[in-house]
A and B are shown apart, each in its own frame.
Chain A
Amino acid sequence: MLIKNILAKSTTTAGVVVTISIMVALYSAYDKGLYLAVNTVVMGGMLALMALGLALVFGVMNVAMFAHGEFFMIGSLSAFYIFPPIHEYLVENPNAFLSMIAPLIAILGALLIGMVVGVIVEKLVFSPLRKRSTDNWVMNSFLLTVGLSVILINGHQLVFGTESKTIVRYWSGRPLNIYDVYIARDRIITLFLSGIAVLLFWLFIKYSRTGRSIRAVSQDEKGALIVGINLTGIQMLTMSLSCGLAAYAGACLLFLYPSYPTVGIEPLYLAWFVVILAGLGNIMGAVVCAFIVSLLKVVTEAYVGSGWEYIVPSALIMLMLVFKPSGIFGSAVRGVHEQ
């Protein structure tokens, strides 16, 4: 029964793509070493958080977010300003427990700041537009996010300067040794953190009452309003959650992506790629696709050379649009966006 089920699933497009990806991952890890697999998974976990936020905002609010990379940037910037002071304090007063949780304080602080920024953005930008008119909403809100992105990028440049703001590492200590492959602690813990975030998010959306309301709004806004769901509150929560997730990802990856004005462009591009690949608005499909895209990027860099990671995925997405425009998982909530 189980085998039959797996066979039936693996003949769909999603199944074929996932199977091929797993095989590519295994081969490349065997060929070029385990680093590749580790990089894929670390990158993929963070990309999943970015893409989740993007898909959530598109599903619930119909906003094609272009400023998502800037929330990533805000997260890494916040972590950069929270972590070093604690670190300096620790150098003077060593404390084993505090040095364990100091990075967590920075990351959670970034998450909080991201969520606050989300509320501000919703209050200042989307809510006024929604009050005024919802004609041609998808394009108008998209343009608003473009303006927002320009403001945030250049605001960062204006206030904090263009230089890279980075830290050496979050967790000190020797790298872990797994089958003669040394992996920095940061990567392992980051992977763990992103896994926890995705899991918590999934539980929240699936089982909590608020999560059910969010799903209801994404399926049918008017219907949700009729059954007494607080639409304004849900929209604000969605925006806040989505920004928070991006900021969390940015803070976790601070050791890999130093904070500078345009740091968000690459995560944004990859996250959009994930969302198109999974099907617009498909929230959980985005998690699987995040790992596929991350694999694609890492493999392209390893075999074709760096700089090509913009070219190969774009070519692939054109191919996919020819054969399967609704994405490999298909978007279940497609009808809503046609409105």
Chain B
Amino acid sequence: MNNKINAIENDTSKTNGVFLGFLKNGLHITPAGLLGLVILLLLPNIAPFNQEYMIRWLVMGTFIAAGAIAFDFTGGYIGIVNFGFHAFVGLGGYTSGILAHRIGLSPWLGLFAGGIFAGALGFVLGVLTLRLRGIYAAVVAWFVGLALMGLATKLVWLTRGPLGLRVDRLFDSPSNKPYYYLIFIIMMIVYLITRKVVNSKIGLAFKAIGQNMEAAKTSGINPFFYRVSNFTISCTIAGFLGGFYAHYYGILTPELLHTTKTVEVLAVAYLAGRASLWGGIAVGIPFVFFTELMRSSLTELPGLNLVFYGLMLVWVMIYYPGGFAMFYDSITRKIKNTSLKRFFRG
């Protein structure tokens, strides 16, 4: 069955030409997606967007988009809401930051150290909670996030608490541009890794568990194993992203682990559409850009951007659960013109 699908895919790739075939089967990007990514790459050089604060927003949006992909990898495929997502981001950030600050480890290695630490915690947490119903994992991850935030506040000798831990930045230049390109590359790698996993046999097991646990069990899938491995991968990515955060902003405060940060990632992931992965990129960057614009232009109405976040989340959850990815899918499905359709749908 699987071979057959591969054969068909190979077949289409031949007819589409080598480049389009590579785009589709190697990078899993549609031509329209490629165009979008090229625009994103050029954006910091184009007039209104080349100001430093705009590039800062772009970095923030790309960071959240990468997080949303990792979040969707768990939430969309195996149906576990990692409600302590930013606890793992924060753990990665603090690991990397403390190693750089105390031992003088290179920030570049620190990114990986952060990923490993967060992945290890994710593994332990997964082993403890994922044999129970999904809501346990969500609630306990939240508890762990609060506990880690408490530790980050209280262990002043290690983390300097609310004063903030100063960390070396990755690049010497004060410009935000190199960081933007770095986080862009990280986001693409995260997308590719998760996409490869999801399209493999393991991904098939993830989808089976997410859709119907009992049926998956009956087919001989061990849900515990797959859920824990999925959770661990997602947490590792979160930790890695945390390392980037630490060495981009140059200062770490316990606020990084706060639940509201998780809610931001969660909102983007679900607005983008569950089990889409690419939706995080398509929605995350414009959405963050828009809400930041709203926040900075309406300073006399603090919190309005977050009310908007919440309203969008509730509205989409009730009336449009497929999110942006489903919307895009249903629109492009109707296109009659073959080459246009291939452009949008790959």
Contacts and interface: CB of A to CB of B under 8 A. Distances in A.
B192 interface: no
A155 B314 CA distance: 14
B197 to A, nearest CB: 21
Interface stretch (B36-44, B148-156, B169-177, B280-288): B148-156
B47 interface: no
Interface string A139-156: 110111011111101110
B178 interface: no
Interface stretch (B23-31, B129-137, B198-206): B129-137
B304 interface: yes
B81 interface: yes
B150 A311 contact: yes
Contacts, number: 130
Contacts of A293: none
A322 interface: yes
Nearest to B150: A310
A315 interface: yes
Contacts of A132: 318-319, 321
Contacts of A309: 150
B104 interface: no
A217 to B, nearest CB: 19
Contact of A154 (B128, B149, B304, B314): B304
Given A155-B307, A276-B139, A311 B314 contact: no
A142 B135 contact: yes
B79 interface: yes
Interface in A314-329: 314-315, 317-318, 321-322, 325
B304 A307 contact: no
Contacts of B99: none
Interface string B258-276: 0110010011001000000
Interface residues of B, number: 45
A310 B131 CA distance: 24
A116 interface: no
Contacts of A11: none
A157 B303 contact: yes
B18 interface: no
Contact of A147 (B142, B150, B302, B317): B317
B235 to A, nearest CB: 16
Given A158-B302, A269-B146, A147 B310 contact: yes
Contacts of B138: 64, 139, 142
A148 B134 CA distance: 21
Contacts of A280: 133, 135
Contacts of B153: 307
B146 A136 contact: no
Max chain A CB contacts within 10 Å: which of B75, B142, B146? B146
Interface in B215-234: none
Given A146-B266, A311-B151, A139 B134 contact: yes
Contacts of B251: none
Contact of A325 (B75, B136, B314): B136
A321 B147 contact: no
A273 B318 CA distance: 28
Given A133-B321, A144-B318, A151 B307 contact: yes
Interface in A292-321: 305, 307-311, 313-315, 317-318, 321
25 contacts: A125-B318, A129-B318, A133-B321, A138-B133, A138-B135, A139-B81, A143-B81, A146-B313, A147-B309, A150-B267, A150-B306, A150-B309, A157-B302, A157-B303, A158-B301, A280-B133, A305-B154, A307-B150, A307-B153, A310-B146, A310-B150, A311-B147, A314-B147, A318-B128, A318-B143
Given A317-B140, A318-B140, A338-B133, 7 more contacts: A139-B79, A139-B135, A153-B303, A154-B307, A155-B307, A313-B143, A318-B144
